[in-house]
A and B are shown apart, each in its own frame.
Chain A
């Protein structure tokens, strides 16, 4: 066997379409609209069809494709048309396993062939021994001829489209895309079969030129029987494009070749697809293909936009869940300091004030004198002073991060419950469940610790600044640094526990009697309130940032499945190129 095998799976990223592979890869779908499968399929078929379109534009050949059910006699008719037995015929079904292409010698077909998974065997008619049709998958055979009347035509015999070999159906589909005209072959037994009929409906719908062969026809069957059957399905077949061929015995191809009906077809075929008509056919075909492609592109764009819209909705929903969880978090940490625990806090603060009140220094002198015997008796302990850092550490050790953990868990749960697509095959479904989307307890703990660390640093800094700013003359009384520190520590503690509203109320009620005495400035109440508020603001922000991080992780798992607008625009621009 002479010929060559060529791997046509070449650099597919720079096909003649000029449409970059990465654009196709950027088409993503989350499955939120339920059209994930359609998008994936459409993407695949569009890619293929565009390749076909530009391939056809480059090669400028008219493709005539034989298609039909298994056993209807496509190959026999193909051989009859070609005039030689080049496609094998027989009773094993499905007989033809790979397409056979009959083309004029020297026409280059295999360059940039749009179906990269096909390999090609190219051989000249005269050198053809029947050994070419070996059982090798993904191959097609090109038989070259030198019949001038068929110079610009490519005749293809395809495998069946209805047998249990699914890959045959795919091949038939592929060559259908290439076809400028279809020779549809059916038989007495099969013309009412659903699968081939649907295929013919498609030819009809997409207005491809066709020739309708009813092979193995019974003598009693008339053209009208067939026409009226299809009429009932809403398909009007052009009457003079229907050919009824009776059942003949072998050598079938040569018997058919001299059949009256077939010769009628042959003449019509040469008249319609011959040399004079070919450029017109090509033009019409490409126009038709462009229209179909444009429709498909429109459909794809619509679906992608719907997906993106659904994605937006999803993100809104996610925001709503975030808001709900934030609220939940606030409520949870605040529940640590319920109204009932107000007393407790009030006492703590009052303790500080009682210890460091206005007359602290003189009073302490007096009390030291008075209480000396008591102390002597072991009644009153000396005040113990702790270092500031130790205070902060103690407070932080007391902090419970459970609310944070609980909230994140709650958030995860809500998201999975409300936002997960139901279909386990949808891409988002799996993306949401990926390892690393949910924050682990360890991560949360680390982040909370970091937040507290930052806050503690800030407090120390603020305190130092504040202490530095106190005038010497006021260094006694409420302005003593220790009272400030005490207040700040309590504020910190309460805020970490989440009770800012209580803290404010308590501060007000404790400070109020002093403030009304007209010494607002003296009591630094503004500073204290401000610091407390600031501590609260910062801490909350920190906690919510952790929650937000969790939200962002979900969001980015969606965003990775959203087709960017540029890609959609790029697809749109192909549509324009087709029309232009």
Chain B
């Protein structure tokens, strides 16, 4: 078996670690500080168990004869007894001259007086007579409560009249001391023998004894040590009646104890005090369990509703993405005139210029994309807020103090997410537009080819059939020069002019077709870009949702850990 003192020390260290490392929700900072201080005090008290004296206190209601027992134990009238109620109002300490008082007693403000003796055999014991705890004088009760901290062994005194009083048991439950350090004394049992004879008296005695035992058991004291005695007898007579257990009681109190025994007694009390500390954790434990359940519930809800949430995001986003404005904005961004050759460029300029004329200045607002980014991050934020809200409602519905909700919401995500989204959206847009600036070589070659073909057609047409036939019959420098000269010559004839005019018209027509093709290409690309932007934003949202989900799981696990720790704490003690 482990040494109880060591076990207590371990437990206290454990508590302190829990307090330092645990994540708490409803325990305030001050409460944690206080608990740390209190547990520290307990450790200190545990360390200071070196002196081998024991403080024994007599507790009981008014009139049960605590002072008489005090006198009987001391063997002389040190405490005043009286028929007046309530009598004792200060604490009387009976001690050996060399046994020190509890160090901080003089400063505690509790009224006390003392009687010193020189009986070495009971040097270990500091005997204290306490005021009552059941009279109308509240101050007595308070003094008793304040003095409890000094007591190691508690002698609970009652009488045949008072042993069923509710107050006695109320107070018994209130006192944070180890039950193993309790003794119970039923005083004034001589009354039971009056006019009854020995047999009748014993019968009464056993009835009272079993009732008392039953009540004590009902109030949590499993195996009470009960002494039935009359304290009046040893003071008045030399020999005790044989039903009087006073001498056994006296022996029990004054026996010589080894240091280890004393240490065990004190440790047991400290252990009880530690249990009191643990009570503070109970509320927290309940709250934590509720919060954990709420978080878990929210997690599950997030999973089941993810489709709906994604859809909601998608709808909100589409409202902004699928507009002509964004499309034309994209087209403007992707416009790359270097792709066009010849007259098509002219058409492009013409189109842009016309557009500029038709549309008002407002429409040329280039802030469109910035607005889009802003709107989308708002959509993100709104959806996140919604998740937070739901979580808070779960927690509030289950009745956790509303102060907690803020703490939990912070876990889901904070406002600076907007900045992140901003960046991400910007990134996506810039990579998308950049990737479409790659020159389409084929398109350009096609244009060059077409224009070259037209030009050749013109040249051949102007040179005349004879000349190009000759040129093909005898390809050579001379024929080539002839051919070119013939074309040049024809240029200034009416036929030539007609050919050039037709050439120009056809060129323009080609240019227009190419331009239209180019526009269509741009449009397609813009649509593609928007579509992929949407997909990527959806992915981004889903990632965000996953992140929140993970965050919640993490929180839930963290809570589980703390709950487990607190439960271990409970089971340890």
Interface residues of A (CB under 8 A from B): 69-72, 90-94, 160, 162-166, 169, 187-195, 197-198, 216, 218, 220-221, 225, 229, 233, 247, 249-250, 332, 335-336, 338, 340-341, 343-344, 346-347, 377, 379, 398, 400, 402, 405-406, 409-410, 412-413, 416-417, 420, 422, 424, 429, 433, 438, 497
B396 touches A420 (CB 8 A): yes
Q: A341-B371, A402-B382 are in contact. Are A92 and B393 (CB under 8 A)?
A: no
Is B294's beta carbon under 8 Å from chain A?
no
Is B472's beta carbon under 8 Å from chain A?
no
A335 touches B167 (CB 8 A): no
Residues of B within 8 A of A195 (CB): 134, 165-167
Residues of A within 8 A of B132 (CB): 192
Q: A93-B163, A417-B405 are in contact. Are A429 and B135 (CB under 8 A)?
A: no
Partner of A433, one of B83, B137, B374, B399: B399
Q: A71-B162, A341-B371, A416-B393 are in contact. Are A192 and B135 (CB under 8 A)?
A: yes
Partner of A347, one of B312, B325, B378: B325
Which residue of the partner chain B has the closest CB to A201?
Answer: B136
How many Å lie between the Cα of A163 and that of B382 in the bound state?
Answer: 62
Residues of A within 8 A of B135 (CB): 192-194
Q: Could you list 30 A-B pairs, sorted by A, with CB under 8 Å?
A: A70-B161, A70-B165, A71-B160, A72-B161, A164-B166, A164-B215, A190-B62, A190-B63, A192-B63, A192-B135, A193-B61, A195-B165, A195-B166, A195-B167, A218-B83, A233-B136, A335-B378, A340-B367, A340-B371, A347-B325, A347-B363, A377-B513, A400-B315, A406-B382, A406-B389, A412-B393, A416-B393, A416-B402, A438-B393, A438-B397
Scoring B residues 61 to 80 as 1 if CB is less than 8 Å from chain A, else 0, what string do you get?
11110000000000000000
How many Å lie between the Cα of A70 and that of B208 in the bound state?
Answer: 13
A406 touches B160 (CB 8 A): no
Q: A70-B164, A410-B389, A413-B393 are in contact. Are A344 and B325 (CB under 8 A)?
A: yes
Closest 6 pairs (CB-CB, A-B): A249-B195, A93-B164, A192-B85, A71-B161, A189-B63, A416-B396
Q: A194-B134, A195-B167 are in contact. Are A189 and B64 (CB under 8 A)?
A: yes
Is B516's beta carbon under 8 Å from chain A?
yes
Determine how close the nearest CB of chain A comes to the CB of B220; give it in whole angstroms. Answer: 13
Q: A162-B166, A188-B83, A343-B365 are in contact. Are A91 and B389 (CB under 8 A)?
A: no
A164 touches B164 (CB 8 A): yes
A409 touches B362 (CB 8 A): no
Is B169's beta carbon under 8 Å from chain A?
yes
B393 touches A162 (CB 8 A): no
B162 touches A336 (CB 8 A): no
Residues of A within 8 A of B367 (CB): 340
A417 touches B325 (CB 8 A): no
Q: A164-B165, A193-B62 are in contact. Are A250 and B393 (CB under 8 A)?
A: no
Determine how close the nearest CB of chain A comes to the CB of B320; give it in whole angstroms. Answer: 8
Determine how close the nearest CB of chain A comes to the CB of B153; give it in whole angstroms. Answer: 24
Residues of A within 8 A of B398 (CB): 433
Task: Classify the secondary structure of B's interface with A.
Answer: helix
Residues of A within 8 A of B207 (CB): 90-92
How many Å lie between the Cα of A247 and that of B188 in the bound state?
Answer: 13
A164 touches B389 (CB 8 A): no
Residues of A within 8 A of B319 (CB): 336, 398, 400, 497
Determine how close the nearest CB of chain A comes to the CB of B510; give it in whole angstroms. Answer: 12
Residues of B within 8 A of A169 (CB): 166
Residues of B within 8 A of A424 (CB): 399
Q: How large is the interface on B (under 10, 10 to 19, 20 to 34, 35 or more residues)?
A: 35 or more
Is B532's beta carbon under 8 Å from chain A?
no
Interface residues of B (CB under 8 A from A): 61-64, 83-86, 132, 134-137, 159-169, 191-192, 194-196, 204, 207-208, 211, 215, 218-219, 312, 315-316, 319, 323-325, 362-363, 365, 367-368, 371, 374-375, 378, 382-383, 385-386, 389-390, 392-393, 396-399, 401-402, 405, 513, 516
B86 touches A192 (CB 8 A): yes
How many Å lie between the Cα of A484 and that of B392 in the bound state?
Answer: 47
Q: Apart from A193-B165, A338-B371, A416-B402, list 15 A-B contacts with CB within 8 A.
A: A70-B161, A164-B215, A189-B64, A191-B85, A193-B167, A195-B166, A225-B84, A398-B315, A402-B315, A405-B386, A413-B389, A416-B397, A417-B405, A420-B402, A433-B397
Partner of A188, one of B63, B166, B390: B63
A-B Cβ contacts below 8 A, count: 172
Residues of A within 8 A of B83 (CB): 188, 218, 220-221, 225
A163 touches B164 (CB 8 A): yes
How many Å lie between the Cα of A169 and that of B170 in the bound state?
Answer: 15
Most A CB contacts (10 A, CB to CB) among B85, B86, B168, B367 go to B85
B325 touches A343 (CB 8 A): yes
B136 touches A247 (CB 8 A): no
Residues of B within 8 A of A189 (CB): 61-64, 85, 159, 161-162
How many Å lie between the Cα of A160 and that of B378 in the bound state?
Answer: 71
How many Å lie between the Cα of A69 and that of B219 in the bound state?
Answer: 20
Most B CB contacts (10 A, CB to CB) among A229, A438, A497 go to A229
Determine how close the nearest CB of chain B comes to the CB of A380; give it in whole angstroms. Answer: 11
How many Å lie between the Cα of A438 and that of B405 in the bound state?
Answer: 19
Residues of B within 8 A of A229 (CB): 84-85
Q: A164-B165, A409-B386 are in contact. Are A92 and B371 (CB under 8 A)?
A: no
Residues of A within 8 A of B312 (CB): 400, 402
A91 touches B204 (CB 8 A): yes
A429 touches B396 (CB 8 A): no
How many Å lie between the Cα of A70 and that of B215 in the bound state?
Answer: 14
B393 touches A409 (CB 8 A): yes
Partner of B362, one of A160, A343, A402, A497: A343
Determine how close the nearest CB of chain A comes to the CB of B322; give it in whole angstroms. Answer: 9
Which residue of the partner chain A has the closest CB to B398?
Answer: A433
Partner of B167, one of A162, A233, A406: A162
Partner of A429, one of B159, B374, B399: B399
Residues of B within 8 A of A405 (CB): 386
A91 touches B165 (CB 8 A): no
How many Å lie between the Cα of A402 and that of B318 in the bound state?
Answer: 14
A187 touches B392 (CB 8 A): no
Determine how close the nearest CB of chain B comes to the CB of A112; give it in whole angstroms. Answer: 32
How many Å lie between the Cα of A433 and that of B325 in the bound state?
Answer: 47
Residues of B within 8 A of A377 (CB): 513
How many Å lie between the Cα of A163 and that of B211 in the bound state?
Answer: 13
Q: A194-B134, A229-B85 are in contact. Are A406 and B386 (CB under 8 A)?
A: yes
How many Å lie between the Cα of A438 and that of B196 in the bound state?
Answer: 72
Which residue of the partner chain B has the closest CB to A164?
Answer: B166
Which residue of the partner chain B has the closest CB to A95?
Answer: B164
Residues of A within 8 A of B137 (CB): 192
Determine how close the nearest CB of chain B comes to the CB of A42; give it in whole angstroms. Answer: 23
Residues of A within 8 A of B64 (CB): 189
Q: A343-B363, A416-B402, A429-B399 are in contact. Are A187 and B161 (CB under 8 A)?
A: yes
